Structure 1
Amino acid sequence: MQETPLPPSSHLIWRQVRQQLTILGLVVGSICLVAYMLGVVAAGLLTQHEELRHADVALIVVPEVPSPALSDHVSDLYRRGFVREVILVGAGQSLLHAQLLTHGMPEAVVQDNASQLLASDEPLRVLVVAPAAEQLRILKQLRDNRLRVYHAPAPSQSTSFLDLILASWNYWRYVLIG
């Protein structure tokens, strides 16, 4: 006569489920942490060098109060022939627009509408000047729209670790949520 195995008690099953969920949570959490830290490292590396190349247009992401160094940098890019047009976006675009005009840039060169970037049939070369917290995400967005993108951070831009953390957050939020 064979004995039939007894069914495992339900508390043992729930203990195994909890263990498996804990392991799964640790694995997913570790992957998320590694991805987030890779974003921080990528943002840090972006701020260490620039890809200064000739481009069709410069996209300038303007903070609420643009620094004089930013207007000097943008004027210098135009004077040296790196860009033919400048597009301003951001909270302080009207202030920077006025500063650039006082630097002697022609009115026709400075635009306030970024929609023309996506309207072109041929891929444009875009030189991006943006704060460190926004740069990684903006480069990704423009590359997703099939633009050839380079970056040239403002020379006096100091980057804190908090800026890098924010840059990683902005990047992954865009990649995962859109």
Structure 2
Amino acid sequence: MKPTTEQFNRAMTEAAALAGSPFPSNLYAMATRDEVYAKFGITAEAAQLFETELGTLLLYVHGIQNGWDLIPDGKRAREILADIERNTLGGLISALKGRVGIDEHLASRFASALQARNRLNHGFYERHNFKIDTDEGRDEILANLEELHTELFNAWRVASTMTVLALQVLEAHQKGVTD
């Protein structure tokens, strides 16, 4: 009979203690279901941050292109925001491409993040099926989630940097207008 994760972890902790090992006791730990579910949630959050940031950037672009920085139009901004919020992630990326010059590398990076989000949200557990029932399977699932998280988190960071840079351009422009 195969030992449980808890039995394995306890044995590794005892072995490390007997050997006087300076390594942490969880060095040899296998992933638990809770860790898999937590990582799924953290990865889903990264996907949501990316999607929200693209929506923010798209609303910002609409605002600049419509001169709302000079003459606000709250009614139209709410309409545009409602349209943005109805979009899928793929729709947001397409809409942003249509309004902002995005080079091929950035377009490819966003497309890759979209694929990562789709792999996460559409059939992730179905594809991994019974792997969650074994220590090795959970480790494989966790490794896959880590790859998806890295892809999505990095895409969010790029989109967030774009938003910050766009805001800096607007602030510099407004400063030049008011000086």
Q: TM (normalized to structure 1)?
A: 0.28
Q: Which has the higher helix share?
A: 2
Structure ranking higher on relative contact order (CA contacts 8 Å, 6+ apart): 2
What TM-score, normalized by structure 2, do the two folds share? 0.28
> Which structure has greater strand proportion?
1
Greater gyration radius: 1
